[in-house]
Structure 1
Amino acid sequence: MRDMKQTAGRTQLGEFAPTFAQVNDDVLFGEVWADETLDMKTRSTIVISVFMGRGLITDALRHHLQYAKDNGITREEIAAIITHAAFYAGWPVAWAVFALAKDVWSEEE
Protein backbone atom coordinates (compact mmCIF):
# COMPACT_ATOMS: atom_id res chain seq x y z
CA MET A 1 0.00 0.00 0.00
CA ARG A 2 3.01 2.32 0.30
CA ASP A 3 3.04 2.82 -3.46
CA MET A 4 -0.73 3.21 -3.76
CA LYS A 5 -2.37 6.64 -3.72
CA GLN A 6 -5.49 6.42 -1.57
CA THR A 7 -8.55 8.21 -2.92
CA ALA A 8 -11.39 6.50 -1.02
CA GLY A 9 -11.92 9.48 1.27
CA ARG A 10 -12.25 11.94 -1.57
CA THR A 11 -14.31 9.51 -3.64
CA GLN A 12 -16.81 8.78 -0.87
CA LEU A 13 -16.78 11.98 1.21
CA GLY A 14 -14.95 14.60 -0.84
CA GLU A 15 -17.92 16.90 -1.34
CA PHE A 16 -19.65 16.15 1.98
CA ALA A 17 -16.62 16.25 4.30
CA PRO A 18 -13.60 17.48 2.33
CA THR A 19 -11.32 17.97 5.36
CA PHE A 20 -12.00 14.47 6.68
CA ALA A 21 -11.47 13.05 3.18
CA GLN A 22 -8.17 14.89 2.81
CA VAL A 23 -6.90 13.72 6.21
CA ASN A 24 -7.96 10.13 5.45
CA ASP A 25 -6.26 10.02 2.07
CA ASP A 26 -3.19 12.19 2.64
CA VAL A 27 -2.38 11.77 6.33
CA LEU A 28 -3.66 8.33 7.38
CA PHE A 29 -2.84 6.52 4.15
CA GLY A 30 -0.31 8.93 2.68
CA GLU A 31 1.85 9.39 5.79
CA VAL A 32 0.96 6.96 8.59
CA TRP A 33 0.70 3.86 6.38
CA ALA A 34 3.78 5.00 4.44
CA ASP A 35 5.98 5.30 7.56
CA GLU A 36 8.50 2.49 7.24
CA THR A 37 8.99 1.99 10.99
CA LEU A 38 6.50 -0.90 10.88
CA ASP A 39 6.24 -3.35 8.01
CA MET A 40 2.97 -3.65 6.14
CA LYS A 41 2.07 -7.08 7.56
CA THR A 42 2.39 -5.69 11.08
CA ARG A 43 0.25 -2.67 10.21
CA SER A 44 -2.41 -4.92 8.71
CA THR A 45 -2.36 -7.18 11.79
CA ILE A 46 -2.84 -4.16 14.06
CA VAL A 47 -5.73 -2.78 12.02
CA ILE A 48 -7.54 -6.12 11.87
CA SER A 49 -7.07 -6.60 15.61
CA VAL A 50 -8.39 -3.13 16.39
CA PHE A 51 -11.41 -3.60 14.13
CA MET A 52 -12.12 -6.91 15.87
CA GLY A 53 -11.66 -5.40 19.32
CA ARG A 54 -14.12 -2.65 18.47
CA GLY A 55 -16.58 -5.06 16.85
CA LEU A 56 -16.34 -3.18 13.55
CA ILE A 57 -17.29 -5.97 11.19
CA THR A 58 -17.93 -3.74 8.17
CA ASP A 59 -16.96 -3.34 4.54
CA ALA A 60 -13.97 -1.36 5.78
CA LEU A 61 -12.73 -4.49 7.57
CA ARG A 62 -13.24 -6.50 4.38
CA HIS A 63 -11.05 -3.96 2.56
CA HIS A 64 -8.39 -4.19 5.28
CA LEU A 65 -8.47 -7.98 5.07
CA GLN A 66 -7.80 -7.64 1.34
CA TYR A 67 -4.96 -5.19 2.11
CA ALA A 68 -3.61 -7.74 4.60
CA LYS A 69 -3.61 -10.42 1.92
CA ASP A 70 -1.99 -8.00 -0.53
CA ASN A 71 0.59 -7.18 2.17
CA GLY A 72 1.59 -10.84 2.37
CA ILE A 73 -0.51 -12.23 5.20
CA THR A 74 -1.24 -15.84 4.35
CA ARG A 75 -4.41 -17.83 4.97
CA GLU A 76 -2.67 -19.61 7.85
CA GLU A 77 -1.50 -16.33 9.36
CA ILE A 78 -4.93 -14.66 9.16
CA ALA A 79 -6.50 -17.71 10.78
CA ALA A 80 -3.95 -17.48 13.61
CA ILE A 81 -4.47 -13.71 13.97
CA ILE A 82 -8.26 -14.04 14.17
CA THR A 83 -8.05 -17.00 16.56
CA HIS A 84 -5.67 -15.16 18.86
CA ALA A 85 -7.75 -11.97 18.80
CA ALA A 86 -10.94 -13.96 19.47
CA PHE A 87 -9.93 -14.42 23.10
CA TYR A 88 -9.76 -10.63 23.54
CA ALA A 89 -12.39 -9.38 21.07
CA GLY A 90 -15.01 -12.08 21.50
CA TRP A 91 -15.84 -15.41 19.95
CA PRO A 92 -18.89 -14.21 17.95
CA VAL A 93 -16.78 -11.38 16.49
CA ALA A 94 -14.20 -13.92 15.38
CA TRP A 95 -16.89 -15.98 13.65
CA ALA A 96 -17.98 -12.87 11.74
CA VAL A 97 -14.40 -11.97 10.77
CA PHE A 98 -13.71 -15.54 9.66
CA ALA A 99 -16.67 -15.27 7.26
CA LEU A 100 -15.08 -12.18 5.67
CA ALA A 101 -11.60 -13.70 5.66
CA LYS A 102 -12.81 -16.88 3.97
CA ASP A 103 -14.19 -14.76 1.13
CA VAL A 104 -10.96 -12.79 0.78
CA TRP A 105 -8.68 -15.83 0.85
CA SER A 106 -11.02 -18.05 -1.20
CA GLU A 107 -9.31 -16.96 -4.41
CA GLU A 108 -6.07 -18.52 -3.21
CA GLU A 109 -4.87 -21.65 -5.03
Structure 2
Amino acid sequence: MRYLVWILRLLVFVLVLLFALKNTDPVDVRFYADHIIAGVPLIVVMLAAFVAGVVFALLAVLPAGLRRRREIRRLRREVQRLQEPESPSAAAAQGISPETIAPLAPL
Protein backbone atom coordinates (compact mmCIF):
# COMPACT_ATOMS: atom_id res chain seq x y z
CA MET A 1 0.00 0.00 0.00
CA ARG A 2 2.86 2.34 0.85
CA TYR A 3 4.39 1.81 -2.59
CA LEU A 4 1.08 2.59 -4.27
CA VAL A 5 0.86 5.91 -2.41
CA TRP A 6 4.41 6.84 -3.44
CA ILE A 7 3.68 5.91 -7.06
CA LEU A 8 0.57 8.11 -7.02
CA ARG A 9 2.55 10.99 -5.48
CA LEU A 10 5.24 10.63 -8.14
CA LEU A 11 2.60 10.57 -10.87
CA VAL A 12 0.93 13.72 -9.56
CA PHE A 13 4.30 15.45 -9.24
CA VAL A 14 5.25 14.58 -12.83
CA LEU A 15 1.86 15.78 -14.13
CA VAL A 16 2.16 19.08 -12.24
CA LEU A 17 5.75 19.51 -13.46
CA LEU A 18 4.73 18.91 -17.08
CA PHE A 19 1.82 21.33 -16.66
CA ALA A 20 4.19 23.97 -15.26
CA LEU A 21 6.67 23.48 -18.08
CA LYS A 22 3.91 23.89 -20.68
CA ASN A 23 2.66 27.15 -19.09
CA THR A 24 5.73 29.34 -19.05
CA ASP A 25 4.37 31.94 -21.48
CA PRO A 26 4.59 35.52 -20.20
CA VAL A 27 1.30 37.13 -19.22
CA ASP A 28 0.29 40.59 -18.07
CA VAL A 29 -1.12 40.74 -14.55
CA ARG A 30 -3.63 43.55 -14.15
CA PHE A 31 -4.56 44.89 -10.73
CA TYR A 32 -7.07 47.53 -9.75
CA ALA A 33 -6.41 51.20 -10.58
CA ASP A 34 -4.79 50.24 -13.91
CA HIS A 35 -1.66 48.83 -12.25
CA ILE A 36 -0.07 46.30 -14.64
CA ILE A 37 2.86 43.93 -14.20
CA ALA A 38 3.97 42.83 -17.65
CA GLY A 39 5.76 39.66 -18.67
CA VAL A 40 5.17 37.45 -15.62
CA PRO A 41 5.38 33.70 -16.37
CA LEU A 42 1.97 32.10 -16.11
CA ILE A 43 3.22 29.40 -13.73
CA VAL A 44 4.30 32.10 -11.25
CA VAL A 45 0.81 33.59 -11.33
CA MET A 46 -0.77 30.15 -10.78
CA LEU A 47 1.65 29.36 -7.95
CA ALA A 48 0.90 32.70 -6.25
CA ALA A 49 -2.85 32.03 -6.54
CA PHE A 50 -2.37 28.54 -5.07
CA VAL A 51 -0.31 29.84 -2.14
CA ALA A 52 -2.87 32.58 -1.46
CA GLY A 53 -5.64 29.96 -1.44
CA VAL A 54 -3.73 27.76 1.01
CA VAL A 55 -3.09 30.72 3.33
CA PHE A 56 -6.75 31.77 3.31
CA ALA A 57 -7.88 28.17 3.93
CA LEU A 58 -5.51 27.84 6.91
CA LEU A 59 -6.74 31.14 8.33
CA ALA A 60 -10.32 29.90 7.99
CA VAL A 61 -9.57 26.61 9.81
CA LEU A 62 -7.29 28.05 12.51
CA PRO A 63 -9.96 29.31 14.99
CA ALA A 64 -11.79 25.97 15.06
CA GLY A 65 -8.52 24.08 15.56
CA LEU A 66 -7.47 26.31 18.44
CA ARG A 67 -10.91 25.94 20.05
CA ARG A 68 -10.68 22.15 19.73
CA ARG A 69 -7.20 22.10 21.32
CA ARG A 70 -8.42 24.20 24.26
CA GLU A 71 -11.38 21.87 24.79
CA ILE A 72 -9.14 18.77 24.68
CA ARG A 73 -6.75 20.32 27.20
CA ARG A 74 -9.66 21.20 29.52
CA LEU A 75 -11.12 17.70 29.27
CA ARG A 76 -7.75 16.06 29.98
CA ARG A 77 -7.33 18.18 33.11
CA GLU A 78 -10.83 17.20 34.23
CA VAL A 79 -10.17 13.49 33.63
CA GLN A 80 -6.90 13.72 35.53
CA ARG A 81 -8.64 15.48 38.42
CA LEU A 82 -11.35 12.81 38.53
CA GLN A 83 -8.85 9.94 38.42
CA GLU A 84 -6.82 11.18 41.39
CA PRO A 85 -7.63 9.08 44.46
CA GLU A 86 -9.24 11.04 47.23
CA SER A 87 -7.59 10.70 50.62
CA PRO A 88 -9.77 9.83 53.67
CA SER A 89 -8.71 13.02 55.43
CA ALA A 90 -9.97 15.08 52.49
CA ALA A 91 -13.24 13.14 52.57
CA ALA A 92 -13.60 13.82 56.30
CA ALA A 93 -12.97 17.49 55.74
CA GLN A 94 -15.86 17.53 53.27
CA GLY A 95 -18.21 15.93 55.78
CA ILE A 96 -18.41 12.47 54.22
CA SER A 97 -18.89 9.63 56.66
CA PRO A 98 -16.29 6.82 56.77
CA GLU A 99 -19.01 4.27 55.89
CA THR A 100 -19.39 5.89 52.50
CA ILE A 101 -15.70 5.37 51.72
CA ALA A 102 -15.37 1.86 53.23
CA PRO A 103 -18.75 0.30 54.08
CA LEU A 104 -19.01 -1.85 57.19
CA ALA A 105 -19.02 -5.60 56.70
CA PRO A 106 -22.31 -7.36 57.53
CA LEU A 107 -22.45 -9.32 60.78
TM-score, normalization: structure 1?
0.25
Q: Which one scores higher on RCO, CA 8 angstroms, separation ≥ 6?
A: 1
